[in-house]
Chains A and B, each alone.
Chain A
């Protein structure tokens, strides 16, 4: 702007000294003629006189040139300011820096927020994964415990022991000894004549027969035992062990190893009345 204005300005200034002396006599005639010749004129009359009729005087031309510059600058400035797409164009350097800083801050804040939300999302995903994993482990554990508690059927390698008792000499304590021996040898699931043997199993004598958990069973006693056959069979056959003791009582004992023993006698899960888990 300053250049734009100075260029005509310089030209005028250069012209002025040359023109002034020459036009000096003319100027009073035109310019000062109005107010000087008619001193009684009011401002309004002078305005009307200046506007109409149009007179091409030096003063009018100079003012016209300057006003042209003003109007031009005004229009340009208004136009460039009202360009909505380049609202930042007219902004000053400090303002731009401030706007940039604000944008940076905002970006930073949004970035932080995004990271927080992503972290939260990851945590939620992890926790749902963990919950799924925990559920699987619980199911697996339930199955394992179910074998111990006798609520699910089990199969696997093991032995089958049949105790033939024609004389009726076998008593519950002998069967209990057999069960203890099997447990000590690592038996994992035991059933006797269709009754699952679990932790709370008790055996008692009841006239001429044996009852297991209140279920009467009669000879022959068939034990189905899942465990390592190489451990179970020797445990029964050791000298002075279960088999010898039974045979001393005139019972015949047959122990067979098998790759597939199915223990399918089940027992309902019973909620303990008094005992509560103390682990948490």
Chain B
């Protein structure tokens, strides 16, 4: 419950504050958000599976974000940033879908 509240408060705060995104992190923010979403869905699935571990969640969340940003950064340096970020989004999207499917099976038993 607290976690859901945290999400809601974060969204509200982001909409209210509307901070200027620094130009340095601007290209990485969308990828990082998608990576974090992947971690959240993974965590939710783990919770439904009864194997949720906060330490694992924290590490996976942060490492997902950092690795995603790193890949995009590296891709930008190599000149394949656009393609690489597309690839990252595709992979994370697949993972999100499979996690969502597992969650759905738990919640709706279908």
Chain A residues engaging chain B, CB cutoff 8 angstroms: 1-6, 9, 12, 16, 20, 27, 31, 34-35, 39, 41-44, 46-47, 50-77, 79-81, 89-90, 92-95
Contact = CB atoms under 8 A, between A and B. Distances in A.
A20 B15 CA distance: 35
Contacts, number: 179
B87 interface: no
Contact of B4 (A51, A62, A75, A93): A51
B41 to A, nearest CB: 11
Interface residues of B, number: 57
Contacts of B54: 27, 31, 58-59, 62-63
A90 B13 CA distance: 21
B48 to A, nearest CB: 3
Contacts of B12: 71, 75
Interface of B: 1-15, 18-19, 21, 25-30, 32-33, 36-37, 39-40, 43, 47-55, 57-58, 61-62, 65-66, 69-70, 76, 79, 81-82, 103, 105-107, 109
Given A52-B1, A76-B29, A31 B81 contact: no
Chain A interface helix/strand/loop/mixed: helix
- Of A1, A31, A39, the most chain B CB neighbours within 10 A belong to A1
B21 A80 contact: yes
Contacts of B13: 68, 71-72, 75
Given A6-B66, A60-B3, A66-B40, 12 more contacts: A1-B69, A5-B36, A5-B62, A31-B54, A47-B106, A52-B1, A65-B6, A68-B13, A71-B6, A72-B10, A79-B15, A93-B81
